[in-house]
Structure formats: C-alpha cells, structure tokens
Amino acid sequence: MKRPGLTVFPAVLLLAVASVKTASLEQGSTPARAAPRSTSLGLAAWQEIYSVMSHPRCVNCHTASDYPQQGDERHRHLFNVVRGPEGKGVPALQCATCHQSANADSTGVPGAPGWHLAPLSINWQDANENILPSSAVCKTVSDPRKNGGMDGAALVRHHQTELVKWAWKPGFRNDGTARSVPPINYEQFMAATRTWVQAGMPCPE
C-alpha cells in the first residue's frame, strides 16, 4: 500500500524535520511568525502528520457522526454504540463497557487510558464518512475554537498521550491478526508535529 505523503519528500527534508529543536515547545511557547523556509518545512511536516491522522487508527474516532467506526474499512462500530454527550458513550453502553486501559489481546478488544471519541468540532470526516482533505483537517487541528482550545504546545502534549500513542501499538483482533498502524512511526510523527508547530502550524491551501 502506498504511504501517503512519504514519497513526495526527499530524505534531506525528513532529516531537517527531525532536527528541529523543540525544547521551547514543551514549555508552552509557539513562535508568532515563521520564516519562509520554516513554513515550507512546516507544510511538509503537516503532510506527514496528515498521513497519520487520516489512518483508520486515528480517523475512526474523529467522525462527524453519532458513532465511532471500526476496522481498516471504517465500518460503523458494532453493538449499536453511540457517541453520547461527552464522546464516551451512554450510561449503560460506555466506551469503558468494553475498552479498558490497555489492549485485551486475548479477547481482541483494543484499549488505552481515556478511550473516547473526539468532539464533533474536531471531525476529520464529512457527514458521508469521507475523510476530509489535508487542508481542511489542518485548519480544524490548528484552530483553537475547534480543537478544544489547544495551542501548538498543547497539541504536542496531546500527541504524547497514551491514547494517541495507542495508534502504534493497537494490539490484535480476536482472530489473532494484528491491527494496522499509521504509515510513519511514532518518532517520525512527533518530529513532524514539532516541526509543524515550530513553523507556526501552516496549512496547505
């Protein structure tokens, strides 16, 4: 399967992405203005991030609907699961009714701390369950009015949560087969996130 975004960037660019210093981001600062070169690096980094966000392990819980999705084909979650007022299901059918704090590989149920749906304002799909294009997802992710009030540093921290990290260790289905993972590894994802934030979170047109 083709890896979205990877083939268009030369190796030197990936090295540049990985080498950006990030200490200030961890402490909550976001540069007010980015130089042109930084912007181009940021845009390249964003495409790396988008390749992850548009993967089923991530986008299945960033729906525009009243329910999550499952599987690489992104079917509606079985068992009549619904979103609920806080994205955690409804009283007798919560996410936690099945999903625990870790994968249950012996029974095939994935799990991580704080399992829940992203708010509707951070949807990465349209009402017909088509994944939104890179530019639209970027605008949503970078807009504090939609993303839950997160600035760049908060986005970096969000990407360091166990729930996000789960995408790279999603465990096994109940038939024993492994779930697929995003097209780049977690370290590359975090390097891209930091580069994008450092560049001022630029979005493609």
Q: Which residues bind another protein (CB under 8 A)?
A: 78-82, 84, 90-94, 96-98, 100-102, 104-109, 111, 174
The Cα–Cα gap between 57 and 54 comes to 8
Nearer to another protein, 73 or 79 (CB): 79
Closest CB 15 distance from another protein, rounded Å: 41
Burial of 184 (0-12, 13-18, 19+ CB in 10 A): buried
Closest CB 161 distance from another protein, rounded Å: 19
Q: In which region does residue 101 sit, left (phi positive, over 0), alpha (psi from -120 to 50) or beta (all else)?
A: alpha
Nearer to another protein, 70 or 142 (CB): 70
Closest CB 67 distance from another protein, rounded Å: 10
Nearer to another protein, 19 or 106 (CB): 106
Full DSSP string of 76-129: EPSTT----TTSSEETTEEGGGT--SS-BTTTTB---TT--PPPGGG--B-TTS
Nearer to another protein, 91 or 149 (CB): 91
Nearer to another protein, 160 or 174 (CB): 174
H-helix or E-strand spanning residue 137: helix 134-142
Nearer to another protein, 81 or 137 (CB): 81
Structure tokens at 51: 């390749």
Burial of 27 (0-12, 13-18, 19+ CB in 10 A): exposed
Q: Nearest CA to 52 among 138, 154, 121?
A: 138
The Cα–Cα gap between 84 and 91 comes to 8
Closest CB 93 distance from another protein, rounded Å: 5
Closest CB 63 distance from another protein, rounded Å: 16
Closest CB 106 distance from another protein, rounded Å: 3
Q: Which is it for the CA torsion 27, 29, 30, 34, positive or negative? A: negative
